[in-house]
């Protein structure tokens, strides 16, 4: 029987390589795993091997795999009304927006639904330009905001390059990254002051009367889990208020309980003007994203035309999944579990930092965490240089983790760890024991 499964798996892989273009990859170098089953925090390949899903796929399957409540909601919606155009009022579309507004910061007013996160940002860019009449858009170098043209131009890292030369008016700033700051800070407040001074100066140089919005990931995700220092978010809010600039939070990855709050910005009690979201809103069961706008921005569009639209804006299947997923977060107390398990994960990570010479820094908030690998703790020389992995070192580390049943991904010299929010203490410790073992191998590499 096993042979038959493997043979079938082989056909799937061959066809996938023959007919599918895979994201962000040299196609000829690929060897994709064939996946046949997923349940809870695990998934299985065609050979029956089980993996801990320690990145919740692309940090989106927050409620875990195979949640029956969400599956039933999708099935029921498919029977009832799988699609109707975006101009109509539909129960699940109104309900999903209402549920989102109820858990968003209390200044938020309305939701424009999209298919995913990039489009959430695209529409926030357009709305910021419409509302302010200004055109410049600020975003940070260490950021990822999506792969469509506008979102790619927002993106600070090298996934932006294929979309360059970019859209005029997109300006990058250097956001806080205290571990690799060019100067030593005595505390977080000092770091905040330093980076805010740079940002203020850049706003002045670019012309505040031309800047529509400042976009930020509330916690920088795939670029290394960069948690803003104390006071940073409030400082950006103050600068935005002072200069009449809109503050936009990209919560596509950091939102939906990932950091132990509904939205990551809630950790600092700051209220942005817009929020882009996706991923955890449906946990990937069907695609959905969107742009949440403040009551003030919503009011602006009472008398001004919203020049945004998508055939699938507010797709009933996506909205039904969102309603059910939000109920699951509440019923299963997943925001609380993210905080509780996040605390345990933090302690484990601190232990790994203490123990392993290759661990330069660990960063964690809720179940959103990173291990930054270095060649030398003192000099902080990264295990691989920025934007490159000339000897395939990180690739090798990920392969070993996978062979041990720990599935996650990396960015530069950073391992991202972001398990589903349903994980329990035993599972978390079991998975992190694997990480501990693999870090011993990395210690050997740097010797
Ligand atoms: C912070 C952030 N913004 C936007 C996106 C893009 O979302 P999508 O891939 O759904 O377009 C991502 C995807 O990883 C992300 O992490």
259 pocket-lining for ligand 1 (C-beta < 6 Å): no
Of 252, 264, 281, the one to substitute when testing ligand 1's pocket (max ligand atoms within 8 A of C-beta) is: 252
Distance CA 93, CA 368 (A): 29
Express the helix, strand and coil content of the chain in percent, nearest 5 each.
45, 20, 35
- Mean pLDDT, residues 100-129: 98
Residues 165-222: tens digit of each pLDDT:
999 999 999 999 999 999 999 999 999 999 999 999 999 999 999 999 999 999 999 9
List of residues 6+ apart from 309 with CB closer than 8 A = 86
pLDDT at 7: 64
Answer yes or no: CATH 3.40.640.10 is held by domain 68-331: yes
Cα distance from N-terminal residue to C-terminal residue, the chain: 45
| SS3 call for 310 | coil
Distance CA 66, CA 38 (A): 7
Percent of the chain beyond pLDDT 70? 98
| 8 Å CB contact between 411 and 158 | no
Domain range summary for the chain, segments of one domain joined by +: 33-63+333-446, 68-331
146 pocket-lining for ligand 1 (C-beta < 6 Å): yes
Q: Whose CA is nearest to atom 5 of ligand 1?
A: 146
Distance of CA 339 to the CA centre of its chain: 17
Task: Tell me which residue has tokens 């600092």.
Answer: 268
Task: Tell me which residue has tokens 């200044």.
Answer: 107
280 pocket-lining for ligand 1 (C-beta < 6 Å): no
Residues 59-68: tens digit of each pLDDT:
999 999 999 9
Nearest to 243 by CA among 168, 134, 130: 134
**For the chain, what is the mean pLDDT?**
97
Task: Tell me which residue has tokens 């400082």.
Answer: 235
Of 146, 289, 416, the one to substitute when testing ligand 1's pocket (max ligand atoms within 8 A of C-beta) is: 146
Of 23, 60, 115, 118, the one to substitute when testing ligand 1's pocket (max ligand atoms within 8 A of C-beta) is: 118
pLDDT at 79: 98
366: Cα within 13 Å, side-chain hemisphere: 32
- Over 80: is that where the pLDDT of 6 sits? no
Residues 350-383: tens digit of each pLDDT:
999 999 999 999 999 999 999 999 999 999 999 9
State the maximum Cα–Cα separation within the chain, in Å, rounded to a whole number.
68
Q: How far is CA 310 from CA 90, 154, 230, 369, 446, in A?
A: 16, 21, 38, 34, 50
Give the confidence band of 4 by pLDDT, cuts at 50, 70, 90: very low
Q: How far is the CA of 10 from the centre of ligand 1 (A)?
A: 31
- Over 90: is that where the pLDDT of 3 sits? no
Domains 33-63+333-446 and 68-331 share a fold: no
CB-CB neighbours of 302 under 10 Å: 6
Both tokens of 122, joined, read: 């695209």
pLDDT at 77: 98
Both tokens of 235, joined, read: 């400082």
Using omega within 30 degrees of 0 as the cis cutoff, is the peptide bond preceding 165 cis? yes
Distance CA 133, CA 123 (A): 15
- Over 80: is that where the pLDDT of 2 sits? no
Atom of ligand 1 nearest to the CA of 121: 4
Both tokens of 394, joined, read: 């990180």
CB-CB neighbours of 182 under 10 Å: 6
List of residues 6+ apart from 291 with CB closer than 8 A = 111, 112, 114, 120, 121, 123, 124, 127, 274, 275, 276, 277
287 pocket-lining for ligand 1 (C-beta < 6 Å): no
Distance CA 138, CA 169 (A): 8
Task: Tell me which residue has tokens 């892989």.
Answer: 13
DSSP label of 306:
-
Answer yes or no: CATH 3.90.1150.10 is held by domain 33-63+333-446: yes
- Over 70: is that where the pLDDT of 5 sits? no
283 pocket-lining for ligand 1 (C-beta < 6 Å): no
Percent of the chain beyond pLDDT 90? 97
Q: How far is the CA of 225 from the centre of ligand 1 (A)?
A: 14
Of 220, 253, 265, the one to substitute when testing ligand 1's pocket (max ligand atoms within 8 A of C-beta) is: 253
117 pocket-lining for ligand 1 (C-beta < 6 Å): yes
| 8 Å CB contact between 172 and 139 | yes
252 pocket-lining for ligand 1 (C-beta < 6 Å): yes
316 pocket-lining for ligand 1 (C-beta < 6 Å): no
Nearest to 372 by CA among 309, 416, 313: 416
């Amino acid at each position: 029987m096993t042979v038959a499964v493997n043979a079938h798996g082989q056909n799937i892989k061959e066809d996938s390589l023959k007919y599918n273009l895979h994201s962000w990859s040299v196609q000829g170098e690929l060897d994709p795993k064939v996946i046949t089953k997923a349940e809870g925090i695990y998934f299985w390949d065609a050979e029956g091997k089980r993996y801990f899903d320690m990145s919740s796929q692309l940090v989106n399957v927050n409620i875990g795999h195979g949640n029956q409540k969400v599956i039933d909601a999708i099935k029921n919606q498919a029977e009832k009304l799988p699609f109707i155009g975006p101009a109509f009022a539909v129960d699940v579309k109104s309900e999903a927006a209402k549920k989102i507004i109820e858990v968003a910061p209390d200044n938020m007013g309305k939701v424009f639904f999209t298919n995913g996160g990039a489009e959430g940002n695209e529409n926030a860019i357009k709305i910021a330009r419409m509302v302010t009449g200004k055109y410049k858009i600020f975003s940070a170098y260490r950021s990822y905001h999506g792969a469509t043209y506008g979102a790619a131009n927002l993106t600070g890292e090298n996934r932006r390059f294929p979309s360059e030369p970019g859209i005029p008016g997109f300006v990058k700033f250097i956001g806080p990254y205290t571990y690799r700051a060019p100067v030593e800070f005595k505390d977080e407040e000092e770091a905040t002051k330093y980076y805010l001074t740079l940002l203020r100066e850049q706003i002045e140089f670019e012309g505040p009367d031309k800047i529509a919005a400042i976009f930020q990931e509330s916690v920088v995700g795939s670029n290394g889990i960069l948690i803003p220092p104390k006071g940073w978010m409030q400082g950006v809010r103050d600068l935005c208020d002072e200069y009449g600039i809109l503050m936009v939070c990209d919560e596509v990855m950091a939102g939906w309980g990932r950091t132990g709050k509904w939205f990551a910005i809630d950790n600092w009690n700051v209220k942005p003007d817009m929020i882009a979201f996706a991923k955890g809103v449906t946990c990937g069961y069907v695609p959905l994203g969107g742009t949440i706008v403040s009551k003030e921005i919503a009011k602006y569009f009472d008398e001004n035309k919203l020049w945004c639209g998508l055939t699938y804006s507010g797709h009933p299947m996506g909205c039904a999944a969102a309603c059910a997923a939000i109920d699951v977060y509440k019923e299963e107390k997943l925001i609380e579990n993210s905080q509780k398990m996040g605390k345990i994960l933090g302690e484990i990570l601190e232990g790994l930092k203490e123990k392993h010479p290759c661990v330069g820094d660990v960063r964690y908030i809720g179940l959103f965490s990173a291990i930054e690998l270095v060649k030398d703790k003192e000099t902080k020389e990264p295990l691989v240089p920025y934007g490159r992995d000339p000897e395939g070192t990180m690739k090798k580390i990920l392969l070993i983790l996978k062979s041990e049943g720990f599935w996650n991904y990396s960015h530069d010299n950073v391992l991202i760890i972001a398990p589903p929010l349903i994980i329990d203490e035993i599972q978390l410790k079991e998975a992190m024991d694997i990480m501990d073992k693999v870090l011993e191998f990395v210690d050997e590499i740097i010797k």
